[in-house]
A and B are shown apart, each in its own frame.
Chain A
């Protein structure tokens, strides 16, 4: 006997993501799902962002890592709430894991919540966690062909940050090529070149962030 099912395989995840989103909307949190391969600079970006936003917008972080709490330790010196989820063998954060972190955060005291995903260019793109935007980092040491190799992540992201731009001269990374490849996959993707080491491009990134926050909160930040 044949039974018609017609059900999305990830509907259980998507249902929890919708509950997360409801909670975020109620608290007017701008929520970003930050993805990249390992070592592209996710935690460095958050450190720099915490510095830039200090006194202007209140940042909160949920960070996923397979083992260790090193990333949360790095962020703890910035006096921002950072919850570490050690995912064990999982290669990505899903909506349920993010939901498990929420009781540990005072969402009504957070303006921008960044979910720092597990370093991986494939799996994190598959799962929504309740975010407003997926964003990603590609670093120049990885290669300009990555958008073509991992299309889903580039397709799903609203913004691609090209990090380690200060190292460009030591690599064969072609900026124009990287931009063209990303826009082939996702013509609407925003692209900002940054260096977490020398600070270039970070003001533009913070403008992107504050504009999105204004759009979400319908007003100015908390001074």
Chain B
């Protein structure tokens, strides 16, 4: 259940960002979650609802944008999406790839009143 800890972090960051702008209510949080982070959206939304209940983010909608795993090949310079956990370049077969997406876990923006 790492969702609970993550939900608490999301709430802390959102409240601090809202506070800086003098907002009194948070209505929506837009989260970006890479596929590799293993977030279960339904569980995270549920946990967020619990931890946010008595805060200015109570009832806020947590929108989770899931990002598929993508990579860049350092040998042939091609960009591709990583399917079925094949961490090799589909074009030239090289294993010298770097991940360009799928590991992120960040709050993009929030909507406040």
Contact = CB atoms under 8 A, between A and B. Distances in A.
Interface of B: 1-2, 5-6, 9-10, 12-14, 17-18, 21, 23, 31, 36-38, 85-88, 95, 104-113
Interface string A1-31: 1111111111111000000000000000000
Contact of B111 (A1, A8, A147): A1
Contacts of B17: 3, 5, 7
A148 B85 CA distance: 7
Interface stretch (A34-42, A165-173, A183-191, A205-213): A183-191
Interface stretch (A68-76, A87-95, A105-113, A129-137): A87-95
B14 A5 contact: yes
B113 A1 contact: yes
Where chain B touches its partner, the secondary structure class is: mixed
Contact of B109 (A3, A123, A150, A151): A3
A177 to B, nearest CB: 14
A179 interface: no
Contacts of A184: 85-88
B18 to A, nearest CB: 7
Nearest to A154: B85
B21 A6 contact: no
Contacts of B23: 1, 3
Nearest to B35: A151
A192 interface: no
Nearest to A4: B109
B36 A152 contact: yes
> Which 9 A-B pairs rank lowest in CB-CB distance, beginning with the nearest?
A187-B95, A123-B2, A5-B107, A9-B105, A8-B106, A5-B17, A9-B9, A4-B109, A7-B13
Interface in A146-176: 147-148, 150-152, 155
Contacts of A3: 17-18, 21, 23, 109-112
